Amino acid sequence: MSKIFNISEAATIAIHSLAIIARSKQQLNAQQIADKTGFSKNHLAKILQQLVKNNYLASTRGPKGGFVIKKDPEKITMMEIYRLIEGDLEEKSSCKLACEACPFNECIFGGLNEKFNKEFKAYLTGKKIAAL
């Protein structure tokens, strides 16, 4: 089935995991987060290491190890984490037919893709990890 909106699994894992760790009173390991989210433990561990490398999380190795949030979740936006994983959102039209030979004067989709991108970016920018 087709989707109009699609966010990568990596970005989804990063945002969900960071929110779960931020809410936790104790450190959580990758298996515990995988159990709560249903994500692959291996993929989740790779994403968590990116968050550690970029100073969003601190990790402790070993059987009693796990992850804790390093930055204030009140100051981390979802957009920050999305950008870390995916890069910037495209601002201009991503029309697959964006070419000089297009037979239409205006986009037949009425610029919806640009509107969706702006709204999505505004939502991610306005939403803090602590609010999730």
Query: Tokens 């000089």 map to which residue?
Result: 100
When mean pLDDT is compared across 21-25, 41-45, 107-111, 121-125, the lowest value belongs to 107-111
At position 11, the amino acid (one-letter code) is A
Which segments of 54-111 does DSSP mark as H helices, in order?
78-86
Q: Which of 36, 62, 64, 34 is nearest to 48 (CA)?
A: 34
Which is higher by pLDDT, 33 or 114?
33
Q: In the chain, what are the domains?
A: 9-131 (1.10.10.10)
**58: three-class secondary structure by DSSP:** strand
